């Protein structure tokens, strides 16, 4: 009998005896674990018929045993003493299961090779482009974005291929790359997506395209850290020349002038300056400016609340004033960045944990150019409200580390109440133009 016929007969023999399906399944698992045919397996819960079937091949009396241990050596010995002598257990198992037996280490190596080939094919489409260079670096160093790429590769490789090809098609056309970091022309993210990928929603929040773009820009600008909040993502996109939301992201200002990128004054802003009226500056408008300036002195007041902003514009019609409107949005930071380096900022906000965090954030960004205006413990205690600060909010005080804010922080931890800047209006006005501010 030739080997092939012998192998067919062998398979038929074992298929007719059900216990071998269990045995061979365990042996195959052991092979995958070890990477070779070896080791010992244990069969439990055996019936009388199971014992008879095992005993017939292994030439051993298993009758009455509920558990049997069978080693690879015992299997080799039994095969050599049977009519199937000359066959190899590896060949029998492959034929029995209809697939190759691959060890876990070998399978892992194979999977890694397949993944490398997958990404190499994509990178080869434009190997020297910034996007391809980034992907290559991420895969080599397992940097930020690695988990994102490998996750989508495991789940939907062909969808990932299509998304990556569109992403790589878009990256070279980013305004920051196309025009350089100076004199950026900002454009809407949805328009950019439509023009570069054919899909205006390709970079929408939560989409794979957005995750890829944000990770790429974080690498490009040397940013790092945990997942970014919505406002931080908008700031990153703005640096790249993209506007996620050009109109609803705005800042309330008074008493400033603006110069466009072509060197000409912005007539719209100039009109509000001449009329002595406040205006909302959107990201769309800010993106067209090269510089802004206060009306007269090199000083700009920044307040947290609109009511204080309104009172100051009436009391000091020649001042330059900015309102954060309860938070520091991207438009506010973009505006402040446009002032000359010799412009001083005087900041006043609420005395509560959130207000102190805003003040600290601005101080970190603008350093000596920004002074805290009327930040005194005596004012906190004098105008302290009856509003209790929640325990959750109080925990935010642990993040206040600026030395200039410690007195107020300690008083706040003691009294556990907030002081709002509307109540301190008299102190702001009494300070005149604020050039003697603390």
My answer on whether 70 and 159 are in the same domain is no
Residue 226 lies in a domain: yes
Separation of alpha carbons 30 and 34, rounded Å: 6
| Structural domain total, the chain | 3
What phi, psi does 305 have (nearest 5°)? -115, 140
My answer on whether 305 and 362 are in the same domain is yes
Residue 86 lies in a domain: yes
Residue 436 lies in a domain: no
My answer on whether 28 and 81 are in the same domain is yes
pTM over 0.75: no
My answer on whether 76 and 129 are in the same domain is no
My answer on whether 303 and 334 are in the same domain is yes
Q: Which domain holds residue 40?
A: 3-101
Helices (H), 16-86: 19-34, 48-58, 72-80
Among 196, 224, 243, the domain-final residue is: 243
The pLDDT value recorded for residue 37 is 85
Instruction: Give the pairing type, strands 67-71 and 370-372.
Output: unpaired
Residue 319 lies in a domain: yes
Among 179, 211, 243, the domain-final residue is: 243
The pLDDT value recorded for residue 434 is 44
Separation of alpha carbons 300 and 321, rounded Å: 6
Residue 397 lies in a domain: yes
CATH number at residue 297: 3.40.1360.10
Phi-psi region of 142 (alpha: psi -120 to 50; beta: other; left: phi over 0): left
The pLDDT value recorded for residue 3 is 81
Instruction: Give the distance from CA 187 to its chain's centroid.
Output: 23
Separation of alpha carbons 322 and 397, rounded Å: 25
Q: Exposure pattern of 148-157 as b/e (b: 16+ CB <10 Å)?
A: bbbebbeeee
Parts of the chain with a pLDDT under 70: 1, 102-109, 111, 179-185, 225-226, 245-247, 432-438
């Amino acid at each position: 009998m030739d080997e092939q016929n012998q192998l067919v007969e062998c398979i038929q023999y074992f298929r007719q005896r059900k216990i071998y399906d269990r045995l061979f399944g365990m042996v195959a698992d052991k092979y995958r674990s070890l990477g070779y045919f070896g080791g010992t397996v244990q069969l439990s819960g055996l019936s009388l018929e199971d014992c008879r079937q095992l005993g017939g091949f292994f030439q051993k009396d298993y009758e009455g045993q509920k558990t049997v241990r069978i080693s690879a050596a015992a299997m080799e010995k039994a095969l050599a003493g049977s009519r199937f002598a000359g066959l190899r257990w590896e060949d029998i198992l492959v034929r029995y299961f209809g697939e190759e037996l691959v060890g876990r280490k070998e399978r892992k190596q194979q999977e890694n090779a397949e993944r490398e080939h997958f990404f190499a094919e994509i990178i080869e489409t434009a190997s020297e482009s910034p996007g391809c260079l980034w992907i290559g670096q991420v895969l080599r160093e397992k940097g930020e974005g690695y988990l994102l790429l490998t996750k989508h590769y495991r789940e939907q490789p062909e969808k990932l291929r299509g998304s990556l090809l569109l992403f790589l098609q878009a990256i070279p056309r980013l305004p920051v790359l196309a025009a350089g970091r100076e004199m950026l022309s900002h454009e809407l993210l949805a328009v950019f997506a439509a023009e570069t990928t054919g899909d205006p929603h390709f970079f929408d929040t939560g989409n794979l395209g957005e995750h890829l773009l944000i990770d790429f820009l974080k690498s490009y600008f040397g940013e790092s850290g945990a997942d970014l909040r919505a406002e931080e993502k908008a700031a990153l996109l703005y640096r790249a020349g993209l506007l996620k939301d050009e109109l609803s992201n705005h800042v309330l200002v008074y008493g400033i002038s603006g110069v466009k990128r072509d060197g000409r004054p912005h007539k719209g802003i100039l009109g509000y300056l001449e009329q002595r009226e406040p205006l909302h500056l959107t990201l769309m408008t800010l993106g067209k400016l090269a510089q802004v300036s206060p009306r007269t002195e090199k000083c700009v007041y920044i307040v947290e609340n609109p009511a204080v902003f309104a009172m100051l514009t009436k009391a000091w019609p020649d001042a330059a004033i900015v309102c954060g409107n309860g938070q520091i949005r991207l438009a506010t930071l973009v505006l402040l960045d446009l002032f000359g380096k010799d412009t001083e900022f005087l900041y006043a906000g609420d005395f509560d944990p959130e207000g102190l965090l805003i003040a600290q954030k601005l101080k970190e960004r603008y350093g000596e150019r920004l002074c805290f205006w009327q930040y005194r413990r005596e004012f906190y205690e004098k105008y302290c409200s009856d509003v209790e600060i929640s325990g959750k909010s109080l925990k935010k005080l642990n993040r206040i580390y600026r030395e200039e804010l410690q007195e107020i922080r300690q008083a706040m931890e003691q009294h556990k109440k907030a002081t709002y800047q509307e109540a301190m209006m008299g102190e702001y006005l009494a300070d005149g133009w604020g050039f003697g501010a603390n």
